[in-house]
Structure 1
Amino acid sequence: MIKSMTGYGLGARDNQKVKYTVEIKSLNSKFLELMLRLPKAFSDKELTLRSECSRLIERGKVNVVVSVEYVDQTAAAATINAGLLKNYYRQLDTIAAELGADKSKLFEVALNMPEVISHNEEEAEEEEAALLMGAFQDAVAQLDLFRRDEGDVLKQDLSSRTLEILRFLGEVESVETDRIPLIRDRISHYMDETVGKENVDMNRFEQELIFYIDKLDITEEKVRLRSHCNYFLQALDAADANGKKLGFISQEMGREINTLGSKANHAGIQQIVVRMKEELEKIKEQLLNVL
């Protein structure tokens, strides 16, 4: 099954106190490049989420953002350490008096001193952790659906371009029938003009001609190219995500097309080969976004 690496997923779970939202964005990449933003209360879940991303998302430049919204605002309220605040304030007041400094902002300074304000998100309850993981699973499911839909579009494009290469291969076979006779006539005409027909050893000429024409034979290249194209089409229908496999097959297709063009020694075939290469380049571009 073809899936795109580009995708978007959004999941949310809540209870009477808090709501967790997980947003996942994915772009194409050779490997899994994961950017994960979590609330501090769930720092212990980071390794678990990274492992799940590696298993479920597989590849791509992935950005996962977890946000928290408190339904009960008292749950999100900060706690002020009054004793510590007073202690800071008295010390600052004494120092300011000794230095003759401005005391108008002492309270603000004391309020921002370390550990004066603490938030109630240092630890999360198991129920909240379950909410977060549920929202994550929902987001991944939506991402996967998005990737499948994009993959269907990619599959249609890749299939049509591969069939186009096969069609071009059929054109090569239709125009190559006169290729060898033309090469033979051209060489024979060249020998007659340069050496003279009466001076040509025809037995030796035939041996050398057979050896030369054998080097220009493109039968193997045609067979292998057709085989690679058919294998590519089969891989498109496979059950697993196989972008890397398709990439390897496309490389083999490229080798056969290049060899076919270099051995053709025929202007018409070389023109068809150029059109094959155009389709193959478009296939390779599309494969960069296949999971």
Structure 2
Amino acid sequence: MWIDEASWKDEIIMIKSMTGFGRGTIESEKQSFIVEIKSVNHRYCDLNIKMPKSLMPLEDRIRKIVQQKINRGKVDVFITQMNFEDQATKAVLNEGLANSYVECLNVIKEKYNIKDNISLSLIAKFPEIITVKKDDADLENIWKYLLTAFNDALEMLVGMREKEGEKLEKNILEKCSSIQTLLNTIENKSFQVVKEYKEKLSERLKDLLDKYPVDENRVAMEIALFADKSCIDEEIVRLNSHIVQFKETLTLKEPVGRKLDFILQEMNREANTIASKSTNLDITKVTLNIKNEIEKIREQIQNVE
């Protein structure tokens, strides 16, 4: 049972990979069709269709169906047709083009004083003067027949993209959880940094108290300045917020690849700020691990529609 264009519209969209392949075939006593569709990642929807010249009038219909199902990716459609008996065709004269050729030939004759007559055999040699086209009624029958193989190929392609999308989503969510765990480690460690700085400063002051007078207000100010300079609370909150937003975006019923890429840029920005503010080696190491996980996610979402 073939599916027309309208049947593809109102479906649930989930995260999809841009990589996939589909194949559909159909054969009767009169003819057979093989349809192959493959897609890879691309910034936009780049659709290329290769099919017999006689089927070119159907190209817009094919494009419409593909674009209803695929929003991003480089998509190549290959249609092979084999006829086992003569098809209903007719010869069509391009009268306007023929007149133009004759006018040009007459100009050449007059300009160069050529006496030869313009013959039918000469005009018939020019391209596109006479073309062979399928009857419209026959083309509609072919379309309904071809659509069966085309829909089978497209369903297989979309199914493969969805299946690969499920794997991508699972892997991406695991990395998001890993980032949150690392971020919790940084948050816990950041509370200790100021405390450790205060303790170290106090120990150093004890050694100096017997020799030099110390302004306690100045000491408190130094500790406050250090705490303010190295505070990463806001960055931690924002990075956590971006992770939540990232996960929510994964559940949207629309293409999300570009949105995810933008959120990742913001996540990386916050991680860079944490790394630049931190004076603690442990926090720096954990932050580098976060950046590494972000980069891994970035590589994966390049293939998300």
TM range (shorter): 0.7 to 0.9
Partner of 1:219: 233
Partner of 1:26: 39
Q: Which residues of structure 2 form unaligned runs of 5+?
A: 1-13, 92-124
- Which amino acid in 2 is paired with 1:64? V
Pair 1:121–1:69, CA change in 2 (3 A): farther
Q: What TM-score, normalized to structure 1?
A: 0.76
Q: Is the 8 A contact 1:216 1:265 kept in 2?
A: yes
For residues 83-109 of structure 1, the C-alpha deviation after alignment (integer angstroms, 9 at most, x for no partner) is xxxxxxxxxxxxxxxxxxxxxxxxxxx
User: How far 1:120 moved relative to its partner?
Assistant: 6.7
Residues 194 and 226, structure 2, Cα contact 8 Å, conserved in 1: no
Q: What is the CA distance between 1:40 and its match in structure 2? A: 0.9
| Separation (CA, whole Å) in 2 of partners of 1:130 and 1:252 | 49
> 1:267 — aligned with what?
281
Q: Tell me if the contact between 1:76 and 1:120 (Cα under 8 Å) persists in the aligned partners.
A: no
Question: Residue 122 of structure 1: CA displacement?
Answer: 4.9
CA distance in 1, matches of 2:15, 2:173: 11
Q: Report deviation, 1:69.
A: 1.6
Paired residue type of 1:11: G
- Distance in 1, matches of 2:185 and 2:142, equals 64
Query: How far apart are residue 198 of structure 1 and its match?
Result: 3.8
Matches for 1:129-168 after TM superposition, within 5 Å:
129-168=143-182
Unaligned runs of 5+ in 1: 80-112
* TM-score of the superposed pair, with normalisation by structure 2: 0.73
Specify the code of the residue in structure 2 equivalent to 1:43.
M
Alignment partners' CA distance in 2, 1:188 and 1:221 = 29
Post-superposition shift, 1:41? Answer: 1.2
Within-5 A mapping of 1:135-214: 135-185=149-199, 198=212, 200-214=214-228
Residue 45 of structure 1 corresponds to 58
Structure 1 counterpart SS, 2:303: coil
State whether residues 190 and 232 of structure 2, in contact with CA within 8 Å, keep that contact through their aligned partners in structure 1: no
Q: Is residue 2:85 matched to residue 1:69?
A: no
CA contact (8 A) 1:224 1:256 kept: yes
Match of 1:229 among 236, 243, 258: 243
> What SS does structure 1 have at the residue aligned with 2:21?
strand
Counterpart secondary structure, 1:135: helix
What's the CA shift for 1:264?
1.6
Please give the residue correspondences for 1:272-291 in structure 2 after superposition, counting only pairs within 5 Å: 272-291=286-305
Q: Per-residue CA shift, 1:196-239, capped at 9, x if unaligned? A: 98465432443343234212111111111112112222222333
Give the Å deviation of 1:189: 7.1
Aligned to 1:103: none
Please say which of residues 245-254 and 133-142 is displaced more in the overlay: 133-142
> For 1:2-13, what aligned pairs fall within 5 Å after superposition?
2-13=15-26
Q: Secondary structure at the match of 2:56?
A: helix
Contact 1:39 1:66 in 2 (8 A): yes
Instruction: Percent identity, please.
Output: 34
* Structure 1 counterpart SS, 2:183: helix
**Structure-2 separation of matches of 1:213 and 1:173:** 14
Contact map agreement 1:8 1:142 (CA 8 A) in 2: yes
SS of the residue aligned with 1:125? helix
Alignment-derived partner of residue 89 in structure 1: none
Match of 2:81, SS? strand
CA contact 1:57–1:140 (8 Å) conserved in 2: no
Q: 1:73, 1:23 → 2: CA distance?
A: 24
Please tell me the residue identity of whatever aligns with 2:251: D
For the residue of structure 2 that corresponds to 1:240, the secondary structure is coil
Is this contact kept in 1: 2:242–2:266, CA < 8 A?
yes
- CA distance, structure 1, for counterparts of residue 58 and residue 213 of structure 2: 88
- The answer to whether the 8 A contact 2:23-2:156 is kept is yes
